[in-house]
Structure 1
Amino acid sequence: MEEKQLFTISIYTENNIGLLNRISAIFQRRHINIESLNTSASEIEGVSKFTIVINMTESNIKKIIGQIEKQIEVIKAYYHKDEDTIYQESCLFKIKSDLLFDERQIQNIIKDSNARIVTVNKEFFVLEKSGRRNEIELLHRELSAFGILQFTRSGRIAVTKQPMEISKILSAFNAN
């Protein structure tokens, strides 16, 4: 039996309204939970990139990629195993300011986690942390003991270790 694993999907698209709904519907129809979703500009002007993380078997992800590529605005879709990508997530923590000055342990947690203080005022301070999901989850657990006023985490952002053929394809396409 094939084992489920985390895959990162890279989808290069035209930037059209409603495409996100159609792509997410592909997962919804199959009752597949999206672990992480990020959309951004890509390395090619005028082309957007979706980065989606899902947990499933490789044979099923191949079927999903085929369905995604049937969408008119999708230029190309790829899937990658974790070992084939370099990836990060980013998060922000909002915490009461008095803790920063009164709790020596908070300062040690910030230093040890390589988090960065973004802003400080009388009521609160904001920490930013970029890294792997497990690093962010560890920091979250450590700070939870002191009370977190707000927390938000981005979806995964990723680049592949190997060159992407899409860059050559689109460069040639844009040259015409």
Structure 2
Amino acid sequence: MNPLIKKFKEYGSLTPEIEKELSIRIKSQTKQKGDFFLKQGQIVSSLFIIEKGLVRSFFMNDEKEVNSWFGFENIILGSILPLFYKLPSFENIQFLEKSTYFYITMDELNELYKRYHSMETIGRIMAEEYCKIMEDRIMSLHIQSAEERYITLLKEQPDVIQRVSLGHIASYLGITQETLSRIRKK
């Protein structure tokens, strides 16, 4: 089954008619390691899910890359400013592995929201989940120590160490690679 449709079903029920509409509108692509889904300044208003692969989101601060999140398989992803507000992105989304993903444009999704109440409900529930994820991330940066953030990351994504470079992980945690090495030795 299409992984994006499967994920939508986790948030609510879909009639066969809606599934057919989604099947027509959802596209898939494969990208190579190092390719970009989105670059800073672009407006790419598509929601996507990775079937196989991995992405990172990062932005530039004083000519230094700062990783803000990692996107693993079976999680709905996108960049908020272009997605919901059609504004240029401040972030970059780059593939860290060869990745196959499925996507739908926000215009097409909004059309389905207007036509089907159940799709509108699914969209609301997804937005609520995203708000919780963002709040958890903000709180972790303000309340947890670097070591606690590292432990949380390992709990949530146990294979992160095998799939993401230590430099990217350190940046995500807001620490240097040397500090990450000390934390890992504990």
TM-score (normalised: structure 1): 0.27
Structure with higher Rg: it is 1
TM norm structure 2: 0.26
Bigger strand fraction: 1
**More helix by percentage:** 2
